[in-house]
Amino acid sequence: MIKRTLFFGNPAYLSTRNEQLVVNFPQEDKKEATIPIEDLGYIVLEDSQITITNGLLMKLVQNKTAVITCDKQHLPCSFLQPLVGHSEQTERIKHQLNASVPLKKNLWQQTVQTKIGNQAAHLRLHRKNSLKLERWATEVKSGDTINHEAIAAAYYFQNLFEEVPGFSRNQKGVPPNNLLNYGYAILRAVTARALVSSGMLPSVGIFHKNKYNAFCLADDVMEPYRPYVDSLVYEMVRAGEDLEELTMDLKAVLLTIPAMDVVIDGKQSPLMVAMSRTTSSLYDCFLGNSRKILYPDFS
């Protein structure tokens, strides 16, 4: 079953009753609303005046619902995760921590190859030149020692948003960077949730190693999924919408990311389900039962 994503952008009081999430709006003339907790995959809390009870938080964590909070710029900034995400968590973390350097280099090679391949497919979809990306995808070595990932990303964004004046991929750059930032933050939460559910630590990566980053592995694994976020943002750009402000309507589109259709292992499935297959295959690699991590094929 596809889990629902809820967004709260106004003051609200969130509590629980009879395994339901109960929503009250103290500053608005709206009736109380209830949603089954078992149906929830992600909750985004944006307004600073939202109140949420500990009882509800406990039930959300037990349901493995990702609770995402936003900062003053309305961007997702934190993710609530359970202390125990899998019944075999201790054993699984041990295999993750004991992964050899050659294995991690090989996994990163696969990750970069797939990411560049998906970027090339996205450019082809819009009849843009993808020949360099297609070639670079075949040239990625173990550990990506030449850093094809960064080279390909620069070329990809330069060509994807070539019609946007002054655009370059930068956290604080001109729109649609604001939409990309928001979409990637949602994707990061989806990835972290899947990793925890697979019994692994999102903070211990196969490539990313920044000691200030608590989501290094999530940042590794989400790379081949980024073009799906890019595709949503590109369609907004093509539609000619005003992107200067990240409006509720724009956020509503980006919050569909977990439910986007992707193709993985030849089968179509929601992105959140595909991500779980990816993280499960990653653990099989750490365990030694496989050498291939399963990623989606952008088409």
How confident is the model at residue 156, as a pLDDT?
98
Residue type, 93: I
Q: Would residue 296 count as lying in a domain?
A: no
Cα 172 from Cα 193, distance rounded (Å) = 26
Q: Would residue 164 count as lying in a domain?
A: yes
CATH (domain of 117): 1.20.120.920
Q: Are residues 35 and 107 in the same domain?
A: no
Q: Would residue 52 count as lying in a domain?
A: yes
Q: Are residues 192 and 243 in the same domain?
A: yes
Cα 292 from Cα 282, distance rounded (Å) = 8
> How many domains is the chain partitioned into structurally?
2
The pair phi, psi for residue 290, each rounded to 5°, is -155, 160
Annotated binding site for Mn(2+): 149, 208, 223
Q: Would residue 170 count as lying in a domain?
A: yes
Q: Are residues 10 and 102 in the same domain?
A: no
CATH (domain of 21): 3.100.10.20
Q: Would residue 224 count as lying in a domain?
A: yes
Q: Are residues 159 and 209 in the same domain?
A: yes
Q: Are residues 142 and 115 in the same domain?
A: yes
Q: Are residues 166 and 234 in the same domain?
A: yes
- Which strand (E) or helix (H) includes residue 230? helix 226-238
CA dihedral sign, ordered 83, 87, 90, 94: negative
Cα 82 from Cα 298, distance rounded (Å) = 31
Q: Are residues 132 and 59 in the same domain?
A: no
Q: Would residue 126 count as lying in a domain?
A: yes
Q: Would residue 295 count as lying in a domain?
A: no
Q: Are residues 185 and 260 in the same domain?
A: yes
Q: Are residues 236 and 175 in the same domain?
A: yes
The domain boundary, picked from 47, 80, 113, lies at 80
The domain boundary, picked from 63, 80, 97, lies at 80
Annotated binding site: 149, 208, 223
Q: Are residues 150 and 206 in the same domain?
A: yes
Average pLDDT per 10 consecutive residues for the chain, totaling 299 residues: 90 96 87 95 95 96 94 88 90 97 98 98 97 98 97 97 94 94 96 96 95 94 98 96 92 96 96 97 98 95
Q: Would residue 293 count as lying in a domain?
A: no
Classify 32 in phi/psi space as left (phi over 0), alpha (psi -120 to 50) or beta.
Answer: beta
Q: Are residues 152 and 277 in the same domain?
A: yes
How confident is the model at residue 28, as a pLDDT?
73
Cα within 13 Å of Cα(198), Cβ side: 30
How confident is the model at residue 2, as a pLDDT?
82
Q: Are residues 72 and 95 in the same domain?
A: no
Kindly report the pTM of this predicted structure. 0.93
How confident is the model at residue 299, as a pLDDT?
77
The domain boundary, picked from 80, 111, 138, lies at 80
The residue segments making up the domain with residue 10 are: 4-80
